[in-house]
Amino acid sequence: MKVKYLFLILLSFLLFSCNTAIHKAQNWLEKANNATPEKLEGNYFQIENTRVKTFLPPEFKQYTTEQYRKTLDSVFPKNQVKAEMRRLETMRDVKGSFSLFFDNITGSTYTINTFPFTPFNRNDAKMLLAMMRKNNDKVSLTTDLNFKKITATFKKTDDFTMFRSIFQIDNIKNDHISYSSTYFITAKKQTFVINLTTPFQVNFDRYIEKMKF
């Protein structure tokens, strides 16, 4: 199944994403949980080689991988930075476009990968969630990370399909909690995957609703 193969690749993207939260500050995080899409502040960014325009809070800036590496170097040990950069290199090497955005106020990271059109249904979404849980359990056995599913939802209209999951990630060694939101979306014959890592739980759906396809 094409969607299963695609997600097997994506699982490697999520392992070290919890290491990028830097500051515990709230701004757009609060607004995202309370505002309607019409009242959200933010900016559109054109995703390279696609018709997609992603909408992000004004604090987010597009980073090159080198800019991102320098930011991590100022905060984290070398081994964690190397692991994160390997993750990003894997994401860049997958067929399709890859874009990275970072908010240095909250320490939130947003990535979007585009892929060849890959339709999926509710049963596929259930399979993806099971794979994520299995992968998280495997990671927990060899790291100081514990994963807890917060929510998983599936939505479908005539020209839009979305599977969203949110996991809480507890780093026991560092006494740190972060949240990883993953969106697997097909719209207008396009497929893309978004990963958002934040220091607080946030409902990012309103920003997704403002994307242009």
Most confident residue range from 81-85, 104-108, 185-189 = 185-189
pLDDT band per the 50, 70, 90 thresholds, residue 43: very high
Q: What pLDDT score does 23 carry?
A: 46
Least confident interval from 136-140, 160-164, 189-193: 136-140
State how far the Cα of 152 lies from the Cα of 150, in Å rounded to an integer: 7
- Which of 17, 178, 34, 182 lies closest to 83 in space, CA to CA? 17
Q: What pLDDT score does 2 carry?
A: 59
**CATH number for the domain that contains residue 95:** 3.40.1000.10
Higher pLDDT, 31 or 61: 61
Q: What pLDDT score does 5 carry?
A: 54
The tokens of 131 are what?
């794979």
State how far the Cα of 69 lies from the Cα of 56, in Å rounded to an integer: 21
The tokens of 178 are what?
């972060």
> The tokens 């994963």 sit on which residue?
147
pLDDT band per the 50, 70, 90 thresholds, residue 4: low
Q: What pLDDT score does 26 carry?
A: 58
Least confident interval from 43-57, 87-101, 142-156, 180-194: 87-101
Specify the number of domains making up the chain: 1
pLDDT band per the 50, 70, 90 thresholds, residue 16: very low
The tokens of 167 are what?
């996991």
pLDDT band per the 50, 70, 90 thresholds, residue 17: very low
Please check whether residue 19 is in contact with residue 83, taking contact to mean a CB–CB distance below 8 angstroms.
Answer: yes
pLDDT band per the 50, 70, 90 thresholds, residue 208: very high
**Is 0.75 surpassed by the pTM of this model?**
yes
Give yes or no for residue 76 having a pLDDT over 50: yes
Which residues constitute the domain of residue 202?
2-209
State how far the Cα of 167 lies from the Cα of 102, in Å rounded to an integer: 19
Q: What pLDDT score does 207 carry?
A: 93
Please check whether residue 178 is in contact with residue 146, taking contact to mean a CB–CB distance below 8 angstroms.
Answer: no
pLDDT band per the 50, 70, 90 thresholds, residue 11: low
Give yes or no for residue 21 having a pLDDT over 80: no
pLDDT band per the 50, 70, 90 thresholds, residue 121: very high
As a whole number, mean pLDDT of residues 13-35 equals: 56
